Structure 1
Amino acid sequence: METITIQIFQADVYAEVAKATDYTGSKLIDGDENARDRILAADDDLAELGRFWEESVLATNENFKEMLVSGKTKQITDTPALIDPILPPVEPVQPFNPDIAVQSVAIPPAISGALSKPGYEAVIEVSKSFDKTLTASVQSTLRSFFIASIIGQWFKFANKGEAKDYFMQASEMLETAERLLYSRRKPTRPND
């Protein structure tokens, strides 16, 4: 058996939840002038969203318990694409004063230290014949599950009419992620 690691960043999920709830609140103008403010999941609601995040973590862990090595919310080191350490200096903004001009060079994460952000990290045991190119698809699908699940739970309070649709979408995403984890590479014939 081999393992893959899935990482879903909390801030990224919360940003998508805020966008979706803002859009939904904006489009529900049917005589409800306060719909946007009522439905929008804003920074003031992070405590509630945190509870919904943990419920999504528990649902994911329960669904993948047969193959899960570990799955928890923790500080995750985000390693963005490495920047070329030899970059030209950034041009100063006009007007140019040579006495106070400062040239700056981008420092790659390996030198400056990578960022650490809260998120869900799952180490999942997969078959040796698992197609590792599907890892990104599994991660994307689980990210979509977290977003739909949190929106569904939020809408239980703020917009009951659409909550059921988001719960169904979240359920489908979780099933899709599990199906992807059971996918296998095509066997190859040895060329003797």
Structure 2
Amino acid sequence: MDYVFMGLIFIFSIYLFFVKDFDKDELEVDHPESLSNLVRYLLFGTINSFFAGSLFEIDWLIWIALYSVMGIIICTRSKKAEKELSQKLTFAFIVLLFFSMYRVPTHPASIENYINSKAMFKCVNRVECVKITPVITDRNEIKTKVEILSVKEDTFDWYLLFARASFKLADDKGKVEEIKAVNICGFWIEY
């Protein structure tokens, strides 16, 4: 169903920006003539990237939508030339701020997905994780070592512009391994 919805959005945006009798006079009032086609492509990219990224959960498409919006902001010109740059920068900052707030996860499942995306760990539930590491034997053979680690403590804190999480994993011998990460604009960064 998502493919059908995305196909309809794609066809409608092609019709809207490239096929339909586009009012060039209205567009050229806001944009110089040389930038009118660029603005069309940026609008097309913004709409399709945003919906495709949201529907199919592809993170990098959301960034294309953001950069397209920033390009549209830069291409616009205001009536008063002296305030133009400060208005554009203020508006671009507000768009970036809202975008970063939109991308920060509000649920601890996001950190679990991040840990599962790493090749070394697989967490099936919130109680225990499996650590998979390659080990080289005395005969220069590579073997896989599998350890079951219990989750001793997990925290997740959401702060409007970023999120912070940590996992403490312990093996049978009591050795504790901690994973700490901060999420900025939807990307987990370990520290």
TM-score range, shorter chain: under 0.3
- Structure 1 or 2, whichever has the larger Rg, is 2
The TM-score normalised by the length of structure 1 is: 0.27
Q: Which has the higher strand share?
A: 2
TM-score (norm 2): 0.27
Name the structure, 1 or 2, with higher relative contact order (CA <8 Å, separation 6+). Answer: 1
